């Protein structure tokens, strides 16, 4: 009786999980499963309680929840290129009021405003940040570490935001000074905050998140000289209310950060994003569509790798991140 042989070119399929790159003390790289739950809740880089709060989270991620359905076409608004041009201009002054059109009827227009965050916004913004980035104490009330984490995390967000707003107010209320925290509001709903973003002057070090609390420019200059990098604009804490995602609000806020960076005479604008091909896909696509490119290492040992893919991933505070930059 003839025995059936398995074809020699048979391909065996294995389950593929989101992976992150890790290294050991010998410099050997390996792939390990990525902690997606921690990544989604992370808030890295000093961007509104983001990387700023150093909770081992991607610095400037859009933080779209997995499975969030895109808005219906009837809900989408047309973003006038002229509006983006005004936001990206170095002459940008806040508050900036504008309208987005959904149809030909003026009744369908949506009135929005981008302005500096004020103390009156603090409670609402902290609540948004806690809902998106906070520890899972509400889901697992029996976990003592989560409860302790929550007790510390919320006050740290509040204190950091207060310190940054105070620094900006001391500089000049009418100008965007370092650091600048902006909120996007829908005026039809009593100025409801639906989005948040932060930009500050930081050393252009792709392997480091901005600090949680604002630092004097002299300290930043000293660090930049030590590292051999320049001071540039750095975006953090880009956050959109879950009920208003997919409407183009993130692009509006990003355009405003570019305008402020230009007013500061920056040559580049930097940010960190989730390196995962799954949870970070939306934010990566947005940045690339706006002209951002991934900062790669120039190590010749990585020359054989396609587009320096692996050399682009940076483990910062225990999170796999990509660093993007855009020339201004």
Q: What pLDDT, in 10s, does the model give residues 217-256?
A: 899 999 999 999 999 999 999 999 999 998 999 999 999 9
Check residue 11 and report its DSSP letter: -
Mean of per-residue pLDDT scores for the chain:
75
pLDDT surpassing 70 at residue 176? yes
> Positive or negative, the Cα torsion across 116, 71, 99, 265?
positive
Residue 186 CB-half CA count within 13 A: 14
pLDDT value at residue 56: 40
| Identity of the highest mean pLDDT range in 28-32, 78-82, 206-210, 260-264 | 260-264
- The predicted structure's pLDDT at residue 9: 47
Q: What percentage of the chain exceeds 70 in pLDDT?
A: 63
Which of 104-113, 158-167, 207-216, 274-283 bottoms out in mean pLDDT, i.e. has the lowest?
104-113
Judge whether residue 142 has pLDDT over 70: no
Q: What is the pLDDT of residues 2-26, one digit of tens each?
A: 555 544 444 343 343 444 444 444 3
pLDDT at position 103 is 57
CA distance 311 to 302: 7
pLDDT band at 86, cuts 50/70/90? very high
Question: Rounded to a whole number, what is the largest CA-CA distance in the chain?
Answer: 90
pLDDT value at residue 62: 36
DSSP string, 273-297: EE--TTTTHHHHHHHHHTT-EE---
Alpha-carbon span 105 to 292, nearest angstrom = 35
**pLDDT surpasses 80 at 182:** yes
The pLDDT-based confidence of 75 (bands split at 50, 70, 90) is: low
- Looking at the whole model, is its pTM more than 0.95? no
Q: What is the pLDDT of residue 189?
A: 62
pLDDT tops 60 at residue 144: yes
Which structural domains are found in the chain, ordered by start? 19-327 (3.40.630.30)
Q: What is the DSSP string of 152-218?
A: HHHHHHHHHHHHHHHHHHHH-TTS--SSEEEEEEEGGGTSEEEEEEEEEEEE--TTSPPPSS---HH
Residue, of 168 and 257, whose pLDDT is higher: 257
Query: Each residue of 101-140: pLDDT tens digit?
Result: 765 555 567 899 999 999 999 999 998 888 887 765 455 5
Residue 174 confidence (pLDDT) above 60: no
């Amino acid at each position: 009786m003839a025995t059936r042989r398995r074809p020699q070119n048979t391909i065996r399929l294995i389950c593929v999980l989101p992976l992150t790159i890790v290294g050991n003390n010998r410099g050997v790289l390996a792939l390990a499963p990525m902690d997606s739950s921690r990544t989604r809740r992370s808030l890295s880089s000093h961007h509104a309680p983001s990387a700023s709060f150093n909770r081992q989270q991607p610095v400037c991620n859009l933080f779209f929840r997995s499975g969030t359905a895109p808005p219906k076409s009837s809900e989408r608004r047309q973003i006038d290129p002229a509006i983006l041009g005004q936001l990206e201009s170095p002459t940008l002054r806040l508050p900036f009021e504008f309208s987005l059109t959904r149809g030909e009827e003026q009744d369908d227009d949506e009135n929005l405003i981008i302005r500096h965050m004020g103390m009156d916004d603090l409670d609402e913004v902290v609540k948004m940040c806690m809902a998106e980035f906070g520890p899972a104490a509400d889901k697992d009330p029996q976990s003592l570490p989560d409860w302790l984490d929550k007790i510390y995390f919320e006050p740290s967000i509040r204190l950091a935001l207060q310190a940054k707003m105070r620094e900006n107010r001391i500089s000049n209320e009418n100008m965007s000074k370092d650091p600048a925290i902006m909120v996007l509001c829908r005026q039809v709903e009593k100025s409801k905050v639906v989005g948040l973003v932060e930009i500050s002057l930081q050393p252009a070090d792709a392997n480091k998140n901005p600090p949680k609390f604002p630092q004097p420019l002299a300290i930043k200059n000293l660090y930049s000289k030590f590292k051999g990098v320049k001071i540039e604009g750095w975006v953090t804490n880009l956050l959109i209310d879950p009920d208003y995602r997919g409407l183009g609000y993130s692009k509006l806020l990003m355009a405003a950060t570019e305008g402020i960076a230009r007013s500061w005479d920056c040559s580049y604008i930097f940010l960190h994003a989730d390196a995962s091909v799954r949870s970070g896909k939306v934010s990566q696509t947005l940045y690339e569509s706006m002209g951002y490119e991934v900062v790669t290492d120039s190590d010749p040992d990585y020359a054989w790798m396609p587009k320096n893919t692996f050399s682009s991933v940076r483990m910062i505070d225990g999170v796999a991140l990509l660093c993007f930059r855009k020339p201004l």
